[in-house]
Amino acid sequence: MRIDILTVLPQLLESPFSASIMQRAQDKGHVEIHVHNIRDYSTDKHKNVDDYQYGGGAGMVLSIEPIAAVIEKLISERSYDDIIYMTPDGKVLEQSDCNTLSLSKNLMILCGHYKGVDERIREHYITKEISIGSYVLSGGELAAAVVVDAVVRLIPGVLNDETSALTDSFQDNLLSPPVYTRPPEFKGWKVPEILLSGNLPAIEKWREEQALQRTQDRRPDLLD
């Protein structure tokens, strides 16, 4: 998969992909992540990328020209499965959306800032608008990093058997059961006996019950 991210703050996207699973996914060739600085496409003499909004009002709006210039350059080079705009008024991301996106060959992600982008970008280039939840971030960069992480780990080969995405919370609409490691007792706090029993069918049954109980207690909406 190839992912192109368009932003006015490329420095916000340096570290999220430079460690652990995301770095390994790139090293192994499962994904190429290209971050583009929208400012590099400004033809303005001050390299401006934003302007006052028509009709008045507080807050700057990202201008159409530099963003259109990056998008048109990229779409002339390859075809994109989706051109995504990160915005708090988009569809709230769920695991099923990540599963769908993980089947893409080329994705483009535009990060919004300030008051947003000129609406004509959204009308004419954007194919999906995504939010990561009901709260407002200063910009779309951290949200884009969330989408990339959630999608890339689903690409076959990125995770090994031990970290398999198939046992993730949400993949079966259930939260994950609790997990423990050594020591078996710490300050008198014991690991549940069943997990030490070696009785694999009984352990599996216990985990299923715990997953269901946890989902009922914390996220009953997932069971609807």
Alpha helices in 35-177 (DSSP H): 64-77, 95-101, 119-124, 141-152
Q: Contacts with ligand 6GU: how many residues (CB under 6 A)?
A: 13
In the list 7, 131, 210, 215, the residue contacting ligand 6GU (rule: CB under 6 A) is: 131
**What whole-number distance in Å separates Cα of residue 111 and Cα of residue 177?**
35
In the list 135, 185, 187, 221, the residue contacting ligand 6GU (rule: CB under 6 A) is: 135
**Minimum distance from CB of 125 to ligand 6GU (Å)?**
17
Closer residue to ligand 6GU (CB): 140 or 177: 140
Q: Is 7 in the site for ligand 6GU (CB under 6 A)?
A: no
Q: Convert residues 90-129 into a mask of x (bound to ligand 6GU by CB under 6 A) and - (unbound).
A: ----------------------x-----------------
Q: Is 86 in the site for ligand 6GU (CB under 6 A)?
A: yes
For residues 39-78, one letter each, b for 16 or more C-beta atoms within 10 angstroms of the residue's C-beta and e for the rest, the string is: eebbeeeeeebbeeeeeeeeeebbbbebbbebbeebeeee
From residue 108, give the alpha-carbon distance in Å to each of 73, 83, 111, 151.
12, 5, 10, 13
Closer residue to ligand 6GU (CB): 88 or 177: 88
Q: What are phi and psi of 110, to 5 degrees?
A: -100, 125
In the list 18, 124, 133, 213, the residue contacting ligand 6GU (rule: CB under 6 A) is: 133
In the list 13, 88, 117, 159, the residue contacting ligand 6GU (rule: CB under 6 A) is: 88
Q: Which stretch binds ligand 6GU (CB under 6 A): 9-17, 62-70, 83-91, 210-218?
A: 83-91
Q: Dmax of the chain from CA atoms?
A: 71
> Which residues, other chains included, contact 1 with Cβ-Cβ below 8 Å and sequence gap of 6+?
30, 31, 32, 102, 104, 105, 106, 107, 151, 152, 155
Q: Is 9 in the site for ligand 6GU (CB under 6 A)?
A: no
DSSP category for residue 89? E
**Percentages (nearest 5) of helix, strand, coil residues in the chain:** 40, 20, 40
Closer residue to ligand 6GU (CB): 68 or 142: 142
Closer residue to ligand 6GU (CB): 133 or 184: 133
Site for ligand 6GU, rule CB under 6 A: 86-88, 112, 131-133, 135-137, 139-140, 143
